[in-house]
Amino acid sequence: MEKYHAAQFDELIRAALQVRLQAYAPYSRYQVGAAILTERLKIYSGCNVEAADYDGTHAEESALAAMVAAGERAPRLLVVVGALEGALPSLDAPNFTGPCGKCRQKLMEFSSLCGYDLDILEGIREPGVYKLRQLSELLPASFGPANIGVDLKKYRG
C-alpha cells in the first residue's frame, strides 16, 4: 500500500507555495516555503524570515516551530519550495529545494524523537509525479541524542 495519496502531495505543495508568498527575504531575495505533514495528518507551514544581522530563520525552522507550537512532534513528510523574489513557482513546477545542512540537523531531531524517517518530496520527473527521499539519506551517520546519552522518549508527546 502506498504511504501517501497523490492528493496529499498536492495539498502539501500548495501549502508550501502559499506560505512562500509570505517570505520575508529582503537580503537574499530568495523566498522559501516549507510544509510538513504530521502523524496526525495536519499540515504546518513556514517561510524564511531574514534580518539585517544575516542570521534569519529558515522556512523549515518556521514550519517545525509551528508544528511544535501546535502540540505535535511527529513530522512524516516535508516539502520545501524556493525561488527568487518575483518568480512564481506552481504546482506543475514547484521548484523543490533541499533543506540546508542546518535544517537537516533540526529535522533529524524530530526523526530521533518520533521514530519516523522523515520523507522529503523531491524533483519532478513529470508534472504531478514525485519522488520521495528519506532524511537518513540526506544526513547519514548523523549526530543525535544517543551520542550524548539523552533519551527522548518522554518528549515525544
Q: Does 28 bind ligand THU (CB under 6 A)?
A: yes
Q: Which of 11, 39, 60, 61 is catalytic?
A: 60
Cα–Cα distances (Å) from 101 to 12, 67, 155, in that order, read 22, 20, 24
Q: Does 30 bind ligand THU (CB under 6 A)?
A: yes
The site string for ligand THU over 114-153 (x = CB under 6 A, - otherwise) reads ----------------------------------------
Q: Does 58 bind Zn ion (CB under 5 A)?
A: yes
Distance CA 9, CA 91 (A): 10
- Other Cβ atoms less than 10 A from the Cβ of 111: the count is 20
Write b or e for each residue in 25-59: b if 16 or more Cβ atoms lie within 10 A of its Cβ, otherwise e: beeeeebbbbbbbbeeeebbbbbbbbeeeeebebb
Per CB under 6 A, the segment of 35-43, 54-62, 120-128, 136-144 that binds ligand THU is: 54-62
Alpha helices in the chain (DSSP H): 6-20, 59-69, 101-114, 135-138
Q: How far is the CB of 27 from Zn ion (least distance, A)?
A: 15
Per CB under 5 A, the segment of 6-14, 86-94, 100-108, 130-138 that binds Zn ion is: 100-108
Q: Enumerate binding residues for ligand THU (CB under 6 A).
A: 25, 28, 30, 32, 48, 50, 56, 58-60, 99-100, 103
